[in-house]
Amino acid sequence: MEWAVFLPAAALAVAGGVGVVAARQPVHSAIALLIVLAALAVTYLVLAAQFVAVLQVIIYAGAIVVLFLFVIMLLNVRSGEDLPVKLPRQAAVAAVAAGVYLTALLVAVLGAARPFPPAPDGFGTAQAVGAALLADYLLPFELAAVIMLVGIVAAVLLGRRPPAGRGDR
């Protein structure tokens, strides 16, 4: 029965992944990413990670991708693929390397062919994750807050328009 959920979700995720990587326009790429995120959220639900799934939708899909879209619109980006190619052999070598890598990963992964043990109640709920965060991982939790503060300050500073009359504009 799980297969009925997993397979479509996996297919969508892969399709979306290909879309992210292969799309000509950045906007299309962002939409494809959105599809991937949604598919993965479903997968998380099956894997008894409800809290994470919700977070995924809220933060990733709801904030990050939206941010991407804002910037894409703001910069009014062209595709940038019709400019002279500076690294002619990069694509071929990358393909080979990625192929080898995928093969190796799959081989490694095959050794984990076991069914899951039954999950206890309350596994993956907000309470469970929250309890762990505030007990065992309190320090990283606080540090995460600091990181976010740093990010905010950095973004503000980086995004400032320079004062009028400065530089070589």
Partner 1 sequence: MVPATAYLALSAVLFTLGAAGVLVRRNALIVFMSVELMLNAVNLAFVTFARQHLSIDGQVIVFFVLVVAAVEVVVGLALIGEIFRSRETVDIDDVDLLRG
Partner 2 sequence: MEALAPARVVLLLAWPLAGWLANGLLGRRLGRLGPGLVGSAAVGASFLTASWLLAAYRALGPEAGPVPVPLGPWFGAGDLVVDAGLLVDPLSLTMALVVSGVGFLIHVYAIGYMAGDAHPARFFAYLNLFVFAMLLLVTAGNLLVLFVGWELVGVCSYLLIGFWFDRPAAATAGRKAFVTNRVGDAAFLLGLFLLFTAVGSLDILTVGEAAAALPAGVRLAAALLLFAGATGKSAQLPLHVWLPDAMEGPTPVSALIHAATMVTAGVFLIARLGGLFLAVPEAMAVVAAVGALTAFFAATVALRQHDLKRVLAYSTISQLGYMFVAMGAFAPAAGLFHLVTHAFFKALLFLAAGSVMHATHDVIDVRRLGGLARPLRWTAAGFAVGGLALAGVPPFAGFFSKDLILEHAFALGMATGNYVPYLLGLLTAFVTAVYITRAALLTFAGQPAEPGAHPHEAPPVMLWPMVLLAVLSASGGLLGARAAGEPLLHFLEPVLPHLGGPLAEVHAPAGPLMALSVATALAGIALGWTVHRGRRDPAGGAFGVFLERRWYIDALYEVALLRPARALGRWLAGPVDLGAIDGLVNGVGRAAMRLGAGVRRWQTGYARQYALGVLVGGVLILVFWMLR
Residues 72-131 that bind partner 2 (CB under 8 A): 86-87, 90, 93-94, 97-98, 100-101, 104-105, 107-108
Among 8, 35, 38, 52, contact with partner 1 (rule: CB under 8 A): 52
Minimum gap (Å) between residue 165 Cβ and partner 1: 16
Identify residues 114-133 at the interface with partner 1 (CB under 8 A). Answer: 114-117, 119-120, 123-124, 128-129, 132-133
The answer to whether the CB of 13 falls within 8 A of the CB of 29 is no
CA distance 43 to 7: 10
Q: Tell me the CA distances in angstroms from 8 to 38, 42, 50, 113, 115, one per residue in order.
A: 12, 10, 19, 20, 20
Contact partner at residue 163 from partner 2, partner 1, none, CB < 5 to 8 Å by partner kind: none
Q: Which one, 44 or 163, has the nearer CB to partner 1?
A: 44
Name 20's Cβ contacts closer than 8 Å, sequence gap at least 6.
29, 32, 33, 36
Burial 33-69 (b: 16+ CB within 10 A, else e): bbbbbbbbbbbbbeebbbbbbebbeeebbeeebeebb
Q: Token match 């070589």: residue?
A: 168
Dihedral of CA atoms 14, 11, 13, 124 in degrees, nearest 10, equals: -140
Identify residues 77-116 at the interface with partner 1 (CB under 8 A). Answer: 77-81, 83, 86-87, 90-91, 94-95, 97-98, 101-102, 105-106, 109-110, 112-116
Contact partner at residue 164 from partner 2, partner 1, none, CB < 5 to 8 Å by partner kind: none
Among 8, 63, 73, 138, contact with partner 1 (rule: CB under 8 A): 63
Minimum gap (Å) between residue 102 Cβ and partner 2: 10
Does 18 sit near partner 2 (CB under 8 A)? no
Contacts to partner 2 by CB under 8 A: 86-87, 90, 93-94, 97-98, 100-101, 104-105, 107-108
